[in-house]
């Protein structure tokens, strides 16, 4: 089942997501549906808050980019209850996009190396250190479970320049081929 993707302005994207336990209801279906949703919308990562679930879960399959970024070879994982425990390395700048911010692409500065502790799909504890583009993808998805979006890393000026685009996104006025979930606006019977 393909979930609609929550877009900019939806409050779920701003919540700090909660840890889950192995008996979390429907977990294996949720993970399956998240893969399906991510592939359907041509994403390389998807976090549970983006499908309106405020839980610490994200999935990444960055293998479509492995020809350009060798560090992404075979990089397909499920991350549960993740915590980034160290950010090191030089700051690195790369273009990013996000399924919750359709039509926006901007350069984002991030540390080039991180260490993360998480549980895999079978709740085995894992600690890994990533660098290069892998570190970037993990930080982007990790931000989602912390209620952070990549535009939060931009300068105030750049953010101001995106304002009208962001307003259009939150009203669902974007031409994309996946289903989205826009914020519910209380209209109190008024219609424009």
**Catalytic positions, please?**
141
Compute how many other C-beta atoms are within 10 angstroms of the C-beta atom of residue 101.
Answer: 21
Among the listed residues 14, 192, 185, 180, the one whose alpha carbon sits nearest the alpha carbon of residue 103: 180
CA distance 133 to 94: 9
Closest CB 102 distance from Ni ion, rounded Å: 10
Tokens of 30: 């949720």
> Site for Ni ion (CB under 5 A): how many residues?
1
Q: Which residue has the CB atom at the shortest distance from Ni ion?
A: 98
Tokens of 37: 């949703």
Closest CB 120 distance from Ni ion, rounded Å: 21
Closest CB 144 distance from Ni ion, rounded Å: 6
Q: Which range in 81-89, 98-106, 117-125, 156-164 contacts Ni ion by CB under 5 A?
A: 98-106
Tell which positions 101-140 bind Ni ion, by CB under 5 A: none
20 is an interface residue for Ni ion by CB under 5 A: no
Tell which positions 45-74 bind Ni ion, by CB under 5 A: none
φ, ψ dihedrals at 125, nearest 5°: -75, 135
Tokens of 124: 């085995």
Closest CB 80 distance from Ni ion, rounded Å: 18
Tokens of 145: 């479970």
**Which is closer to Ni ion, CB of 98 or CB of 108?**
98
Compute how many other C-beta atoms are within 10 angstroms of the C-beta atom of residue 184.
Answer: 9
**Which is closer to Ni ion, CB of 109 or CB of 127?**
109
Closest CB 74 distance from Ni ion, rounded Å: 22
Alpha-carbon radius of gyration of the chain: 17
DSSP 8-state code for residue 101: S
**Which is closer to Ni ion, CB of 43 or CB of 112?**
43
Query: Site for Ni ion (CB under 5 A): which residue of 13, 44, 59, 98?
Result: 98
Q: Which long-range contacts (CB under 8 A, 24 or more apart) does 183-186 make?
A: 183/9, 183/10, 183/11
**Which is closer to Ni ion, CB of 57 or CB of 98?**
98
**Which is closer to Ni ion, CB of 16 or CB of 127?**
16
In the complex, which residues of this chain contact Ni ion (CB under 5 A)?
Answer: 98
């Amino acid at each position: 089942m393909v979930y609609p993707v929550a877009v900019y302005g939806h409050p779920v994207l701003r919540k700090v997501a909660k840890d889950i336990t192995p008996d979390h209801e429907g977990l294996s279906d949720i993970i399956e549906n998240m893969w399906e949703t991510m592939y359907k919308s041509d994403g390389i990562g998807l976090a549970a808050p983006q499908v309106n679930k405020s839980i610490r879960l994200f999935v990444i399959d960055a293998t479509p980019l492995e020809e350009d970024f060798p560090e992404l070879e075979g990089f397909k994982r499920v991350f549960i209850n993740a915590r980034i425990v160290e950010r090191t390395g030089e700051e690195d700048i790369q273009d990013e996009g996000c399924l919750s911010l359709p039509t926006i692409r901007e350069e984002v500065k991030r540390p080039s190396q991180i260490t993360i502790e998480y549980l895999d799909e079978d709740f085995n504890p894992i600690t890994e250190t990533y660098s290069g583009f892998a570190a970037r993808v993990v930080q982007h998805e990790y931000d989602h479970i912390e209620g952070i979006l990549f535009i939060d890393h931009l300068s105030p000026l750049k953010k101001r320049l995106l304002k009208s685009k962001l307003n259009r996104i939150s009203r669902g006025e974007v031409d994309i081929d996946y289903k989205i979930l826009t914020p519910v606006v209380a209209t109190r019977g008024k219609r424009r």
